[in-house]
Amino acid sequence: MAVTPVGTDVVTSISRRYIVPQIADNVYLSNLFFHRLNSANRRIVQGGYQVEQPLMYAKMAAGGPYSGFQTLNIAPSDTILNGAWQWRQYYVPITVDGLTLIKTDAPDAIANFLNVYFAQAEMELSDQLGNGVWSDGVTNQLHIDGLIGAVDDGTILGTYGGLSRTTYPWWKSKIDNATAASSLTAYQALMGNCTQGGRHPTIIVGTQSAYNFFYTLNTSVQRFPSQPGGQDEQLAAAGFTNLLFDGVPFTVDSHISTAPGFVGPAGGTPTGNVYFINEDFMFLYVSPKANFTLEDFQTAINQDAMVAKLLWAGNIIFSNVSLSGKFTKIAS
């Protein structure tokens, strides 16, 4: 292969190139929901054929006031059954040849090649999981069981966690397939439908377009900054801005529009999706064997090259989907 000298005159021959000592990210977009889940709602689970979550779905059948020798109803109550989720796996390969390592092993290199490669591999894996968070459970069933399929009434995903939503109506979310125009009244109605006592959605997530529509409803009453504490401070520290509705942060995750299976039911579009999520019943289960785990490099027998894989295994599990909901057609 021909070699072309960089120096072609006095200036280029005796002057060094100046390379800014930071590598700019022009590829990976915001990854809000996976960041939030992985930071606050992650649970490490060691082994198991599958992950099962006991679900309390009914009240006790007996019990109440009585007097004296009154005969009491002591019939047993069947109030719990299990949902089941499979392990899902993701990987990113890190492959490098010997010549590349030789060329980048210079004392004035702006960065360690392998360190940069590792950092990008982590961003790539986070990005893939960020898309998986919004999968529908139908388009690509190798993805984790994402929010589009989980927060549903059976229109997209009839069976979730191994349980039929037709057989068990309490396993449905609150879905608004009709509202097209943003209004505080519509948002309050869905929030109310997803509220039971002191339990209510803890975060509202939409596309940038949906967020912009909501923003215009609040221009006269905004107060910045508006981070009440807890996990919302965590979002702010990570650079994710939000507006508050009923004390609940409304923020943007760009992966809603890029995830597999993003189109909502009844003609819904990714632009029109706004999710009301109760994170108290949502968890990211992860294996300690594959929690952004880098396996040892392996060298090819017949090549001057080596490869390792960055691994992740787990799934998203809801223990109650009835207290979460979504709009699918917000368009103004």
Instruction: Specify if 119 maps to a domain.
Output: yes
What are the pLDDT digits (tens) for 93-150?
A: 988 888 888 887 777 665 677 778 788 888 888 888 888 888 888 888 889 999 999 9
Residue 3 carries which side chain, given as an amino acid letter? V
How many structural domains comprise the chain?
1
- Which domain does 294 fall in, by range? 32-46+84-327
Q: Does residue 66 lie within any of the structural domains?
A: no
In a domain, 252, yes or no: yes
| Residue 11 included in any domain | no
List, for residues 179-216, the tens digit of each pLDDT value: 888 888 899 999 999 998 889 999 999 888 888 888 88
Give me the CATH number covering residue 288: 3.90.1690
**Does the residue 17 lie in any domain?**
no
Peptide bond just before 225 cis, omega within 30 deg: yes
pLDDT in tens, 239-276: 667 778 888 888 888 888 765 554 433 334 556 789 99
Give ∠ CA 256-259-265 in degrees, rounded to 5.
Answer: 70
Q: Is 120 domain-assigned?
A: yes
User: Does residue 332 sit within a domain?
Assistant: no
Alpha carbon separation from 48 to 86, 142, 160, 287, 290 (Å, rounded): 10, 18, 19, 10, 14
Nearest to 276 by CA among 170, 196, 158, 162: 196
In a domain, 184, yes or no: yes
Q: What angle do CA 245, 257, 220 make, to 5 degrees?
A: 30
